[in-house]
Amino acid sequence: MEVEVAIRLLYMLGEALPASQGAHFSGDGAKASALQDMMRMLVTCGVSEYQHTSVTLEFFETVVRYDKFFIVEPQHIPNVLMAFLDHRGLRHSSPKVRSRVAYLFSRYVKTLHKHMNAFIEDILSQLQDLLDLSP
């Protein structure tokens, strides 16, 4: 529960930090740096491996809310993409999680499409069996 609350507080921090058009990672250096540090911690600490559905959903909601972070630090894109595409996201055991993650994945890719070229083959190979329709 504490993990879920911590991620939710990070998500809600965006309400307290005014930013035009979601530009939380530019402008005031101190605010941007602090939020950038927290996002870096979120995507590197392994919290995406937690099995609880609430933690999983909070992780993906927060990653997509602060998707501009990945423009500043694109080295984290591959790990987050894998979280979206494996058992933590689109292959999660909960239909509720899979459904929400599918929507969030589309938003994530839409924002970062210029950074996705290097990963297109991997993404498509991971999604291929999910896209097969049986007659």
- How far is residue 86's CA from residue 65's CA, in Å, rounded to a whole number? 20
Q: What is the distance between the alpha carbons of residues 60 and 86, in angstroms, rounded to a whole number? A: 13
Count of C-beta atoms within a 10 Å radius of residue 57: 19
Nearest to 114 by CA among 76, 72, 71, 84: 71
DSSP code per residue over 12-37? HHHHHS--GGG-TTSSSHHHHHHHHH
pTM of the model: 0.87
Give the tens place of pLDDT for each residue, 78-122: 999 999 999 999 999 999 999 999 999 999 999 999 999 888 888
CB-CB contact of 78 with 93 (8 Å): no
Q: What is the mean pLDDT of the chain?
A: 88
> 9 pLDDT exceeds 80?
yes
Torsion sign over Cα 109, 81, 71, 104: positive
> In percent, how much of the chain has pLDDT > 70?
87
Contact predicate 24/35, CB 8 Å: yes
